[in-house]
Structure 1
């Protein structure tokens, strides 16, 4: 027969034993509280990791230096990049390329123009090409990706088949084909060609992100509450799908620098050498590559270094913003 005082319920008896044990221990006074700290956004959380990431900091340093040189190129260039200051020292037979001397640390080109000044001013042209090409391809990709991912159905099928056709052609070959159709090669033909070549990458990436958002809880809740289609797309689906697209834009900046230099090297860029550009300088140096390789080395090194900086930034951003690969 169990010991059960009159009128006690089994639950009350167990509670009394637990209270007695806690009182006897004399140690359980406060179970503790959870600190009331504000939540951290995805961007703030990513920045906390990025500022401790050496790879990102190296890429950021290279990119910032490139941007500063491009923005202040006219002030940083020691000489006018179009002035033939060393023309009197050019000897076509014996000395076609003047070497370094005081005031001209890298020497001059085949018509006596300061090589260092042309490299510095050429950074501005390279920056304009890669930034505008990435911006135009991003805008076009946002339009196509939003149409395909938000509406689906036949719109998705038509847009994606068009994107698949473009993706079936290598990006540099597609850019070369578009630039070759221009009646007059110019800097803007290079920008247009590169933006068309990279547009389908942004479109497919955004479309995949928006398809994942279509069936998320907050979108389903908004539809259940009777929110119209346009606010759901532009207030809920699109903002939450832009993370991978922004990361891809930093990676496209790196490849745009290389592709712009390639098109200019092939003669499809701005033919006016009074506006120096690294790819154009690289193409002009091929006549003297064996005897004066430094003419090709300096612009090639600038192209590689800038593309390397953008790549480091893009890879670090991808790892910081992707929950599956956070370190």
Structure 2
């Protein structure tokens, strides 16, 4: 019969050797530093994964989509023709200059007996047209100037940026008012052009800064070392990688364009044709009855505020989702 094994000796036998412990430690470190095999996602997909869980973006997107859809189908869902005057018999200049709500006219009418709800619905289309085209033209002009300044540099960059600085030094609404007042007669295109001009320097400076950052990036330096032509470098490498912040800014500028258009229309520099209602125009017409019928100004002003808020919420959320410094 063999002698019993000492427990201390048995514990030493079961304990791993120093070499084994060292190998286990190295394996653990290697496992901790292993590269994850999970496939990555693109910048756009990553931004969408964050945005679809962002209640601020969803709220802004819902408001924006409702506004766009309403503007598209406005002529077909308006209860009355905007030029019709079904409440003309209710207009009494001395006692009742503005008809109030009644059956068939939930918001009442204006001082000419026209249905207020119908004019608000149809006015959304004109507001959208002015905001979209003004932002689009401003974006195109800003991209052209920003590309020239950021790609060429030198004296051309200095000249373009000094012009942009002068434009930015003037208050935007004052500059738009000055440009609009130069027109022979106010119209919808007067609004579009004047608002587009004040947005050009914003897009130009933003794109120029992004392109200057791209000029020293690795992929641009590699393209230069391979002998790629400068035009190809600008339009294939620098501009596509710099346009993202400008597109996000366009979303925010659309809200500003709607507000500026309403301000200019309120001052009488918009489209004078009342057969094509626009929310800013309706605000200007309502100031004569602001004490007797404040709702004439309240409804179009509320529509402008809500729509501008929707574009602002959506634009800020896009900026945070696409900017690496502010990603959450």
Question: Would you say same fold, with TM above 0.5?
Answer: yes
Correspondence for 1:303 = 304
Within 1, Cα distance between the matches of 2:141 and 2:130? 17
Deviations 1:258-292 (A, max 9, x none): 00000000000000111000000000000100111
Distance 1:44-1:24 versus aligned 2 partners, 3 A rule: closer
Give the number of equivalent residue pairs. Answer: 309
Correspondence for 1:10 = none
CA RMSD of aligned residues (A): 1.8
Matches within 5 A, 1:234-245: 234-245=235-246
Correspondence for 2:141 = 140
Within 1, Cα distance between the matches of 2:51 and 2:304? 25
Correspondence for 2:112 = 111
Deviations 1:147-177 (A, max 9, x none): 0001101110111111111111111111000
SS of match in other structure, 1:195: helix
Structure 1 gaps, min length 5: 1-16
Deviation at 1:18, TM superposition (A): 7.2
Deviations 1:11-57 (A, max 9, x none): xxxxxx876557999x98x9596553332111111111111111111
Correspondence for 1:72 = 73
Correspondence for 2:286 = 285
Correspondence for 1:209 = 210
Distance 1:20-1:315 versus aligned 2 partners, 3 A rule: closer
SS of match in other structure, 2:110: coil
SS of match in other structure, 1:113: coil
TM-score normalized by the length of structure 1: 0.91
Matches within 5 A, 1:178-217: 178-217=179-218
Within 2, Cα distance between the matches of 1:72 and 1:230? 43
TM-score normalized by the length of structure 2: 0.91
Correspondence for 1:252 = 253
Within 2, Cα distance between the matches of 1:170 and 1:24? 69
Correspondence for 1:276 = 277
Correspondence for 2:47 = 46
Within 2, Cα distance between the matches of 1:93 and 1:24? 96
Within 2, Cα distance between the matches of 1:321 and 1:312? 14
Within 2, Cα distance between the matches of 1:23 and 1:224? 46
SS of match in other structure, 1:72: helix
SS of match in other structure, 1:276: coil
SS of match in other structure, 2:103: coil
Distance 1:234-1:94 versus aligned 2 partners, 3 A rule: same
Structure 2 gaps, min length 5: 1-16
